[in-house]
Amino acid sequence: MMDLTTYNGNEFFILLTVFAVISFLLFLICLILYWISHKNALLEVKRLSLIEGYANSMVQTYFYDNLKKIIPDQRPGTGLYDKIMMYKDTEKLEEEDFPLHKIFIIICASGFIPDALENIDKTRIKARKPLLLDHDGSIITLTNGLITTSTDGSITTSIDWSKLAQLIIDGRLNAISIYKVYHRNSKNHTTIATGPPLLTLLEASKEDPELKDNKKQIMEIFYKKLQKKLAENAEFTNSYELVFYNDDHDKPSTLAEEIILRHVDQGLVRQEAMSYHLSTDCVIETFLD
């Protein structure tokens, strides 16, 4: 009887020990899973904080270092409208050639950052001579290798044409890019102005893999924050067209379509611009080469 009691007692002790070990292991596993989950959550918070912070920084930089120098009047006669009208006069463009006195700010949803819109659609978007600006908003004209940096043409200095692009990249000159956007018939086109490309993100993402991996989400947040920033500043009203372009490299570009459609919706370009086959009776050509 004593031996049976001892045996049952040992068996109970063993079962209790096994239960305790299993419970401890389960607790340990739960603790490890919690730690992993907490660590992942912290990493996600850190990632989102990086994206949010960088998008905020981009908005401030792009707004104050680029758009603020291009759109508002730095002084009478230097606003965006005046710049476009002076460009049209210099290039002998009629009102129907360049009907929308705004800049298009193109943001690609994929995170792709083109240094020129031609890199999005080489068939229907072609570059024209850019509109160059000094830091005070004066239009810069280039003639025979000379750069004129005052509104009345009184200050003229020589410039190395090969260094012009680098001056823009370095921020020593501002530029409004000008493009021809062809209609569906590939004959007629409308001229538009665009804001500077987001070269800061492009250059930074080359050095920072984390920024490169999160470019798409950064662009989405940047678009929303820039939209809000522009809406909060009355001086920018009716001066821009913000386009969040859903680009897909596996499909034909639709950017030209979106740009022309915005003109059509505002009554600046005829609906026929969206047709592939136009008769000469119903076409008003927006520009003749």
CATH classification at residue 147: 3.40.50.12100
Looking at the domain assignment, is residue 268 inside a domain?
yes
Cα(251)–Cα(253) distance, integer angstroms: 6
pLDDT per residue of the chain (289 residues) written in tens, 0 to 9:
445 455 555 666 677 777 777 877 787 788 777 777 666 665 555 666 778 888 888 898 889 888 888 887 666 666 888 889 988 988 899 999 999 999 999 998 888 888 788 889 989 999 998 888 776 666 766 655 555 554 444 444 555 555 565 566 566 667 788 999 999 887 889 999 998 877 666 666 667 777 778 888 888 999 999 999 999 998 888 899 999 998 887 788 889 999 999 999 998 888 877 777 544 333 333 333 3
Q: Where are the alpha helices (DSSP H) in 125-254?
A: 164-169, 199-207, 209-213, 215-231
- Domain holding 182, by residue range, is 2-282
Looking at the domain assignment, is residue 287 inside a domain?
no
CB within 8 Å of 133: residues ≥ 6 apart: 69, 70, 83, 139, 140, 173, 174, 175, 176
Looking at the domain assignment, is residue 173 inside a domain?
yes
Beta bridge partners of 180: 126, 191
Contact between 125 and 117 under an 8 Å Cβ cutoff? The reply is: yes
Looking at the domain assignment, is residue 289 inside a domain?
no
DSSP 8-state assignment for residue 58:
H
Looking at the domain assignment, is residue 219 inside a domain?
yes
Residue 180 is predicted with a pLDDT of 94
Contact between 185 and 278 under an 8 Å Cβ cutoff? The reply is: yes
Contact between 125 and 182 under an 8 Å Cβ cutoff? The reply is: yes
Number of domains within the chain: 1
